[in-house]
Chain A
Amino acid sequence: MASNSSGSDSSDRQRIAQQRLSVIAGHLQRPVEGNSGILAAECKAQGDKLDVSSERRTVPRRRQEIMKWNGWGYSDSKFLYNKKGQAEFTGKRYRLSGMIIPGLREWMESTFGANLQHKTPAAPILNSSVVQPPTLNEAFLKELKSTGIPFSHDAEDRVFRSHGHCLHEIFALREGKIGRVPDLVVWPNCHNDVVKIVELACKHNVCLIPYGGGTSVSSALECPPEETRSIVSLDTSQMNRILWIDEKNLTAHVEAGIVGQDLERLLNESGYCTGHEPDSMEFSSLGGWVATRASGMKKNIYGNIEDLVVHIKMVTPRGVIEKSCQGPRMSTGPDVHHFIMGSEGTLGVVTEVTMKIRPMPEYQKYGSVVFPNFEMGVACLREVARQRCAPASIRLMDNEQFKFGHALKPQVSSIFTSFLDGLKKFYITKFKGFDPNRLCVATLLFEGDREKVLQHEKQVYDIAAKFGGLAAGEDNGQRGYMLTFVIAYLRDLGMDYYVIGESFETSMPWDRVLDICRNVKARIVRECKDKGVQFPPLSTCRVTQTYDAGACVYFYFAFNYRGLSDPVHVYEQVEHAAREEILANGGSLSHHHGVGKLRKEWMRETISSVGMGMLKSVKDYVDPNNIFGNRNLL
């Protein structure tokens, strides 16, 4: 970025960029006035920056205006049982919104032994009086005020930024229990604001915890209880502009606070996309992706975050770190980007990122394949990976998850559809002899130009056929992907009825996929039994990513906790045991969720003592006073 240079070079670029802006402006539907004015006022130093984005921000400063304080996602969207006792998904945002899901109740009852009579409602509103009064660093506050950067020490604002979405975090909130929360929330508007905040924090020895989308599932956002300094949550959500798009090089320079859905929507308006779609993309932010080494479901085409990033700018207590050029690959010693990616907010704040972009795909097609059993399914995915012909996304659910997916089918309006469904089921189980208690299903998503997609599709289905797979329609596939976005809402429904659960992920070499899936699922069942869980747990998995040398597997684990005095503790013990099992069987500590504080204890055995020392020395150099004191990772 040439933000500070003033040569002819710079003005040239400005001119070109302005031209482009006018082109792009044509795509935009309704730019909101006023906002750019505010921005200009707040970020005068970057007057030459171009905000190419339209102004429909998803995430307001006061998140509570649209989001739940003690559950997942939008306040208007949730599962509930209506008066007739049928499950229903409220709101208007999703394809499933407003629909009845007839099978869900029976599935919940039979899977968990849950019962509509036994409710465990959450505390309805946040009781501000249980929130500890903020420990404010007055000198810091005074200087912060003088910068004009917005901030707040309102209890609700602080509580919102004190947690991610781990089970224990949400469970505590539902019970109205609030632990250590940040003392102050600041909303920088641009890179320079962040520079100022970090300088002030260093000067006054204040602890900074960067906050992006708040979707962490590794306890990364939890305030260390032992922290005695004033904790300031640095909320990047207002740094959400696309600063420029470079069509020649197919890159976009974006502020790191932008959330996934906005980034994609805004780029789509210009005819582009990044293709980075983690399951949390509605709420998770670009900076968060970088800080945790995120992975998107379509990585087979677009790559994971480390493949997508061309340039990163991060503000650290030592100053700003960035590379001097945007070459696509460099041999300049260890890649400093790799100190930043996965640093989990321990080194600084990622403020701006240059990312690769692609023209939007001409054609998308969903698909699905039914396999007689999980083993065949994995063998097929392996073959697909070997031939390097994986579609944009390919995922394999196990039998339990297949049944779960089935239970989430919305009510069908036409008799014809339900008749067809019945016919399909008959064909697969009776005619083809698939055991309904063993079969499993892979969901597929193809992208590209139409002809190639169709060709590709045929190739994949041909491979699947060799492993006993039967094409099972676009619908099943599409529903599978839609469910990724609503599944997080489902946990809140479970928690209303004594069911708690969570998912966790790992990656492993191909030859261990089946062993890990089997052993971890069995371990979960056994641990639940040992820990006194009264009902058999749901213990299921799916393969969500394929690589040349291995795969990523997600486990879902939930149980009915009636009869347990400390269900969260039991949950944590079981998850801990499951992780031990993963590691013992050659799985990784994390594929993309990160380490946070939840998985810290395994870091040394994961990366060796020398590895720990390397990371530690980087931390010691970059942040000797532990200003970025969230204590993640190390």
Chain B
Amino acid sequence: MASKAVYSHRDPMLKKRDDFEDMLEERRNSSDLRYALKCYTPVLYKGLTPCKVSELKQMVLQSDQLGYVITQVSKEKGMTSDEVTGEAAAILEEMAQRLQLSTVRFFAFTLSKVFKTLFRSICINEEGLQRLQQAIHNHPVVLLPSHRSYMDFLLMSYILYTYDLALPVIAAGMDFMGMKVVGEMLRMSGAFFIRRSFGGDKLYWAVFSEYVKIMLKNGYAPVEFFLEGTRSRTAKSLTPKLGLLNIVMDPFLKGEVFDISLVPVSISYERTLEEALYARELLGVPKPKESTSGLFKARKILSEDYGSIHVYFGQPVSVRSLAESRVNRSQFNLIPRHIPTRPSEEILSFVNDSAYRLVRAQEENMVLKPWVLLAFVLLQKQAAEEKQGTALDELTEQAVWLRDLSRQYGAFLHWPDHIPPSEVVSSSLSLHRGLVRISEGRVQLALEQVGGQQVPGETRGAITPEEELLNKAVVILSCASYRNQALNVFIRPALLASAIHTAASNRKQEIYNSFSFLRNMFSNEFILCPGATVQDFEEACYLLVKTGTLQINQQEVLITERGHRTLAFLTSVLDPFLQGYQVVCRFLCEQDGLTEKQFIPAVRKFIIKHLLTGRLGYIEVLSSDLQKNALAALIRLGTVQKIKGGEEQGTLKLNKVMLNSLEDTLGGKLPTQKSVVAHL
């Protein structure tokens, strides 16, 4: 069990975090107009060579990198290089941002108004901003916010403008450009647009990567993008996408800059604007195409209370120190640097590890509200089919217990300690009154009423059992999206708890095998850094021993007297996922000639059937996110193969023996035998 020192093993409770300041407070007390027109003089990168937007484009088009690809493409396609250059210029035109201070000022004004109505407060760690300012001065900076809402990048620019920091240029998905006016407005506030997929398009890739690199290297502006690639609909962090991270690390790896600072930013919403929208999307109601008019319809939202936002600017991470003794930079010595090359295995694994590290840094600084803990309790109660709900004081007791546990695990919990717990609980419940129902002092999820509200125009009597189920699912998935915010806190202990549960004996090695199996199984579901099984196991053991749940000696793992409650809680954390993956395996076992496209609708149908017949307990298994992750895991493990090309393009080839055995193992029917683990 040789351990790589990727994470330092330290007590998560000792994590030092900065204090927050509410930036809306000043907005409520002074003129928004004056604020929008304030003198804006940010600190810039010390090596900056100032240039205009148009010069930037020229630099890209004249770069050696692009020149090389243009020549290549023109040879391949038999076009003149002028024609290809023209194409490149058009791509650039479609892509490029046109950051304008006036637009930013406009946004500053409007957003002030909007934010003040929507949110009680927007809390920022100002020390983080000071660190950021320092970082911007010293090195090119990449901002890496978490992505839970459309709001994220407007909010980021708003904060940076407010605190007189350099405004970023932001990589945004092309879908925004569909919204004509807004798209252009976003462009003028620093967004640049990239196509969602451009797989084989060499020219597009070259223009895009060169554009990003030139802005970064010259210190033109901090470059901002979302590591997760898209908004997480489940509030769990998504497996990081590596493309852009690879691009922004490249100038350092090739020696073109001394260092680059990566700044993870954690944005947590007490109530997500897109709450129900996400749930419906996960249930198969396709996401509405972004359109300007759609955005205005969202005006209804303005009348609601969305609590507060916490934005935590993390410690800047130096790419140089990440790469130290990890990457041999001299591998770039023998090929001219402007010739595009496929990154080596070494680089890919380095970028991948860094990405995980950064996402974990985002997770760690995500502020959790008491409601998140309540969501745990309520969902578990619901799954246990306690029809009459939970008494308020029981809920409070459980929440307090969970508060203490999560703090011991290092959660960044904002629980107002000066207020009696019962008040904390009731105020949380009242903010999320759409999701809960309180009657006669008992609390439960608002599963029944929702249907009528959310689907207007239909009479309640005509509702089918399937529709009723989906309506329940909307509430449950909404609620789960809050619970999920804290999953990262519990995931490693939960994996260990489940491993103890499924392992045949209490021998440490056996439990480790079981842990390793589960971890491997769920590494598409949670942020579990590839290759860090040993560290994760050690971290989990450490936490559970520290909190008095387990005693571990050389050979054995023993559960303490008071540990049972914790273990029961932790296993139930993982339970819905275990069941979900199990049902996906079951489903696949019964299939033949299924294509990847058919998978989601078919598995959804299958699950609905099982839920309706009561053979399946967890409604949240309906989440397409879980289903996709399960399939991805199975493909990764080789249990399912995607056939590429040919007539059967996209067909899934299934190894049913393996699927069966996996299903049983997940269900705890089979101990994780060596052979299974070895095979995986």
What residues on B are CB-neighbors of A585 within 8 Å? Answer: 255, 329
* A330 adjacent to chain B (CB < 8 Å): no
Tell me the residues in window 341-397 of chain B with beta carbons closer than 8 Å to chain A beta carbons: none
A584–B255 CB distance below 8 A: yes
Question: In the complex, what residue of chain B is closest to A515 when comparing beta carbons?
Answer: B255
Known contacts A511-B336, A511-B337: A586-B258 contact under CB 8 Å: no
* Chain B residues within an 8 Å CB radius of A583: 330
Bound together, the chains give a CA A523 to CA B337 distance in angstroms of: 21
**In the complex, what distance in Å separates the CA atom of A241 from the CA atom of B90?**
72
Chain B contacts with A in 588-633, Cβ cutoff 8 A: none
Q: Which residues of A contact B336 (CB under 8 A)?
A: 511
Task: Decide if B333 touches A518 in the complex (CB within 8 Å).
Answer: no
- Name the interface residues of A515-550: CB closer than 8 Å to any CB of B: 515-516, 518-519, 522-523
- Whole-angstrom distance between the alpha carbons of A512 and B333 in the complex? 10
Distance between Cα atoms of A512 and B330 in the complex (Å): 12
A607 CB to closest chain B CB (Å) equals 13
**Closest B residue to A525 using CB positions:** B258
Instruction: Indicate whether A109 reaches chain B with its CB closer than 8 angstroms.
Output: no
Contacts of A605 in B (CB 8 A): 330
CA distance A525 to B309 in the complex (A): 40
CB distance from A616 to the nearest CB of B (A): 23
How far apart are the CA atoms of A279 and B259 in the complex, in Å? 34
> What is the chain A residue whose CB lies nearest that of B251?
A515
A512 touches B258 (CB 8 A): no
Is residue B68 contacting chain A, with contact meaning CB distance below 8 A?
no
Q: By the criterion CB–CB under 8 Å, are A516 and B330 in contact?
A: no
**In the bound complex, CA of A516 to CA of B328 (Å):** 16
Contacts of A518 in B (CB 8 A): 258
Inter-subunit contact A515/B256 (CB<8 Å): yes
CA distance A511 to B335 in the complex (A): 11
Minimum Cβ distance to chain B for residue A500 (Å): 24
Digit string of B243-275 for contact with A (CB within 8 Å is 1, else 0)? 000000000000110110000000000000000
Which residues of chain A are near B337, meaning CB under 8 Å? 511
Residues facing B in A61-76 (CB within 8 A) are: none
**In B66-82, which residues have CB < 8 Å from any A CB?**
none
Contact A586 B256 (CB under 8 A): no
Give the distance to chain A from B590, nearest Cβ to Cβ, in Å. 55
User: Closest chain A residue to B255 by CB distance?
Assistant: A585
The main secondary structure of chain B at its interface with chain A is loop
In the assembled complex, B332 has its CB within 8 A of some CB on chain A: yes
What is the bound-complex CA distance between A584 and B333, given in angstroms?
Answer: 8
Q: A522: which B residues are within 8 A, CB to CB?
A: 258-259
Check A523 against B330 for contact (C-beta < 8 Å): no
Closest residue of A by beta carbon distance from B332: A586
Docked CA distance A143–B19 (Å): 83
Find out whether the CB atom of B258 lies under 8 angstroms from the CB atom of A519.
yes
B259 contact set on A, CB distance < 8 A:
522
Residues 496-516 of A, flagged 1 when their CB comes within 8 A of B and 0 if not, give 000000000000000110011
A583 CA / B330 CA spacing, docked (Å): 7
Interface size on B, residues (CB 8 A): 11
With A511-B336, A511-B337 already in contact, the answer to whether A519 and B255 are too (CB < 8 A) is yes
Distance to closest chain B CB from A495 (angstroms): 30
Given the known inter-chain contacts A511-B336, A511-B337, please indicate yes or no for A584 contacting B330, CB distance below 8 A. Answer: yes
Which residues of chain B come closer than 8 Å to A516, judged between CB atoms?
A: 255
Please, how many angstroms separate the alpha-carbon atoms of A512 and B334 in the complex? 12
Specify which of A515, A516, A523, A583 lies most central, judged by the most chain B CB atoms within 10 Å of its CB.
A515
Closest to B329 in A: A584
> With A and B bound together, what is the CA distance between A255 and B245 in angstroms?
60
Q: Point out the residues of chain A lying under 8 angstroms from B256, CB to CB.
A: 515
In the bound assembly, the distance between CA atoms of A34 and B190 in angstroms comes to 86
Contacts of B330 in A (CB 8 A): 583-584, 586, 605
Would you give the 0/1 interface string for A566-606, flagging 1 where the beta carbon is closer than 8 Å to chain B? 00000000000000000111100000000000000000010
In the bound assembly, the distance between CA atoms of A518 and B337 in angstroms comes to: 17
The contact of A523 among B258, B328, B333, by CB within 8 Å, is B258
Residues of B within 8 A of A515 (CB): 255-256
Tell me the B105-153 residues at the A interface (CB within 8 Å).
Answer: none
Cβ of A541 to closest chain B Cβ, rounded Å: 14
> In the assembled complex, how far is the CB of residue B332 from the closest CB belonging to chain A, in whole angstroms?
7
* Residues of chain A within 8 A of B333, CB atoms compared: 586
In the assembly, what is the distance between CA of A523 and CA of B329, in Å? 15
CB distance from A389 to the nearest CB of B (A): 24
Bound-complex Cα distance A522 to B47 (A): 12
A11 to chain B, nearest CB (A): 56
How far apart are the CA atoms of A512 and B336 in the complex, in Å?
10
- Cα A95 to Cα B255 with chains together (Å): 41
Contact partners of B328 in chain A: CB under 8 A: 584
Q: How far is the CB of A317 from chain B (nearest CB, A)?
A: 36
Instruction: Kindly state the separation between the CA atoms of A584 and B255 in the bound complex, as whole angstroms.
Output: 8
A285 to B255, CA, bound (A): 37
Contacts of B258 in A (CB 8 A): 518-519, 522-523
Identify the closest chain A residue to B64 (Cβ): A511
Q: Which residue of B lies closest to A518 (CB)?
A: B258
Map CB proximity to B onto A442-461 as digits: 1 under 8 Å, 0 otherwise: 00000000000000000000
B219-258 contacts to A, CB under 8 A, are 255-256, 258
* Chain B 281-296 per-residue mask, 1 if CB under 8 angstroms from chain A, else 0: 0000000000000000
Query: Bound complex: CA of A518 vs CA of B258, how far in Å?
Result: 7
* Bound Cα distance A125, B332 (Å): 51
Q: What's the nearest-Cβ distance from chain B to residue A529, in Å? A: 12
Residues of B within 8 A of A584 (CB): 255, 328-330
Give the CA-CA distance A522 to B140 in the complex, in Å.
14
CA distance A511 to B258 in the complex (A): 16
Minimum CB–CB distance from A509 to chain B (whole Å) comes to 8
User: Could you say which residues of chain B place their CB within 8 Å of the CB of A512?
Assistant: 255
- Docked Cα-Cα span, A245 to B259, in Å, equals 56
B256 CB to closest chain A CB (Å) equals 6
Q: How far is the CB of B133 from chain A (nearest CB, A)?
A: 19
Interchain CA distance A586-B337 in the complex, whole Å: 11
Chain A residues positioned under 8 Å from B329 (CB to CB): 584-585
In the assembly, what is the distance between CA of A246 and CA of B330, in Å?
A: 47
* Bound Cα distance A118, B337 (Å): 48
Q: List 20 A-B contacts (CB under 8 A).
A: A511-B336, A511-B337, A512-B255, A515-B255, A515-B256, A516-B255, A518-B258, A519-B255, A519-B258, A522-B258, A522-B259, A523-B258, A583-B330, A584-B255, A584-B328, A585-B329, A586-B255, A586-B330, A586-B332, A605-B330
User: Residues of B with Cβ closer than 8 Å to A?
Assistant: 255-256, 258-259, 328-330, 332-333, 336-337
* Nearest 10 A/B pairs, CB to CB: A584-B329, A585-B255, A586-B333, A522-B258, A515-B255, A519-B258, A584-B330, A583-B330, A515-B256, A519-B255
Besides A519-B258, A584-B255, A584-B330, 5 more A-B contacts (Cβ < 8 Å) are A511-B336, A511-B337, A512-B255, A519-B255, A583-B330
